[in-house]
Amino acid sequence: MQLKKKHKKKAIRGALTTASCTLLGLSNVAQAENAPWQFDAGVLYYSETDRVQAIEPVVTGKKDFGDDRWLNLKLVVDLLTGASPNGATPTNTPQTFTRPSGKGSYTIDANETPLDDTFRDTRVAVSGSWDQPLGDQLKGSFGANFSTEHDFLSLGASASLAYDMNKRNTTLSAGVSFESDTIKPEGGVPTPFASMVPAGSAQPRDASDDTRTLVDLLFGVTQVINRNMVMQVNYGISTSSGYHTDPYKILSVVDGSTGATTDYVYEHRPDSRNKQSLYWQMKYHLTEDIIDLSYRYLWDDWGVTSHTLDATYRWDLGGAKYLEPHVRYYQQSAADFYRVFLIDGAPLPAEASADYRLAEFTGITLGLKYGTQIKGHDTSVRLEYLSQTGDSSPSEAIGVLQDQDLYPDLKALMLQFRYTF
């Protein structure tokens, strides 16, 4: 039984190699079989206080087909549990909400942020890419990816080119990627701004699913500055069209004078989004240690602008051991259609969402990573702490809402293990 299993494993590896060689039109299958697959694995534990928890194991494999040609494969499994804010505001009375499926409901205590705990999912994603030289100074990379969970399906393809100049001190790169998403919400796609209806009754739904497509372009210049320093500048532009709404999120409709909740309506976002970003990164090698610094500025037609500043210091401890403290600072402005709540009787905006991810907030991450080698294999452990804070008492709060926390802080802990074998 044991022998059979080993034979099967070798046969699978051989078959994988032969299949990929044939598909890619390569001869020299025998030579390719000599280079071993290099595997890299990781597992991430993510935990927010009182909210979402996730475990995400990842394994990647890469194989050298000779002459700088590589096949890269990746498998991701994402297991999510826990609760997520549904967009309604907390208020001074208990609140009852209908589950997205329309077949049940849940109640939230007074003065508590409404969290929907039906948020339980498993996501599986597979991706692959092929890298190869296209000329003396030109390299190409072509990839495809696929991701699925019970209410979401994503298919994508990408291609990128890198051109070296100045004795390979300068590299110009350009990349394009396409993605097609299918959203199949549990219970169906809700009618925009429809009122939430009690469980058991006919739910306001438009369709069973909807779609969205994305196109991303990325242009970059990488420059070696001197023996110790390399720098990169990128410009990215991205456009997406289709269904961008979160089908599980609602907004509270409140009385204009007392602030008491009178209704809940499903949110609605624009059917297109155009983003642009400028990204700069620098790596500097000191005597033994390395500094990594990056900054990204992003802006889009939803009114969101953001700044991301990231700094890592790799403290070399000798003998392949290192300690790496990390700081990340993030600041974003609110989307134009972000509303903390809607006012009963006021004209409805074209789009509105109370999703905290579209609000104005600041996020700070502090982390520490320790790396070493076990029997020649690189391994590391990283612990990070993320804290997002926003305006808990915005000026637009009315009546009873003035006593509520209208932007509860997000605090999350991340533990990551890595192993190369």
Which residue, 218 or 352, has its beta carbon nearer to another protein?
218
Which segment (89-97, 182-190, 253-261, 382-390) binds another protein by CB under 8 A? 382-390
In the complex, least distance from residue 357 CB atom to another protein, rounded to whole angstroms: 6
Report the 3 state secondary structure along 262-309: EEEEECECCCEEEEEEEEEEEEEECCCCEEEEEEEEEEECCCCEEEEE
> Considering only residues 52-71, where is the footprint of another protein by CB under 8 A?
56, 58, 60, 66-68
**DSSP character at residue 357:** G
In the complex, least distance from residue 160 CB atom to another protein, rounded to whole angstroms: 7
Which residue, 16 or 172, has its beta carbon nearer to another protein?
172
> Considering only residues 186-215, where is the footprint of another protein by CB under 8 A?
none
In the complex, least distance from residue 44 CB atom to another protein, rounded to whole angstroms: 5
Widest pairwise Cα distance in the chain = 78
- Letters for 84-123 (x = contact with another protein by CB under 8 A, - = none) are ----------------------------------------
Which residue, 232 or 262, has its beta carbon nearer to another protein?
232
Q: Which is it for strands 205-207 and 342-343: parallel, antiparallel or unpaired? A: unpaired
- Letters for 7-46 (x = contact with another protein by CB under 8 A, - = none) are ---------------------x--x--------xxx-x-x
- Backbone torsions φ then ψ of 357, nearest 5 degrees: -70, -15
- Letters for 254-283 (x = contact with another protein by CB under 8 A, - = none) are ---------------------x-xxxxx-x
Which residue, 293 or 398, has its beta carbon nearer to another protein?
293
By CB under 8 A, tell whether 296 contacts another protein: yes
Which residue, 262 or 365, has its beta carbon nearer to another protein?
365
Report the 3 state secondary structure along 175-214: EEEEEEEEECCCCCEECCCCECCCCCCCCCEEECCEEEEE
Q: Which residue from 53, 19, 56, 140 is spatially nearest to 418, judged by alpha carbons?
A: 56
Which positions ≥6 away from 401 have C-beta within 8 Å? 89, 91, 254, 259, 340, 341
Which segment (85-93, 172-180, 182-190, 250-258) binds another protein by CB under 8 A? 172-180
Which positions ≥6 away from 115 have C-beta within 8 Å? 50, 51, 83, 84, 85, 86, 108
Alpha-carbon distance of 414 to 380, in angstroms, equals 14
Alpha-carbon distance of 81 to 63, in angstroms, equals 35
By CB under 8 A, tell whether 168 contacts another protein: yes
By CB under 8 A, tell whether 139 contacts another protein: yes
Which positions ≥6 away from 265 have C-beta within 8 Å? 193, 194, 195, 196, 250, 251, 253, 342
By CB under 8 A, tell whether 136 contacts another protein: yes
By CB under 8 A, tell whether 421 contacts another protein: no
In the complex, least distance from residue 256 CB atom to another protein, rounded to whole angstroms: 29
Alpha-carbon distance of 390 to 333, in angstroms, equals 10
Which residue, 123 or 205, has its beta carbon nearer to another protein?
123
Which residue, 281 or 372, has its beta carbon nearer to another protein?
281
By CB under 8 A, tell whether 353 contacts another protein: no
In the complex, least distance from residue 108 CB atom to another protein, rounded to whole angstroms: 22
Which residue, 199 or 290, has its beta carbon nearer to another protein?
290
> Considering only residues 214-243, where is the footprint of another protein by CB under 8 A?
216, 218, 220-228, 230-236, 238
In the complex, least distance from residue 211 CB atom to another protein, rounded to whole angstroms: 19
How far is the CA of 336 from the CAs of 81, 213, 350, 352, 408, in angstroms? Answer: 31, 22, 11, 9, 20
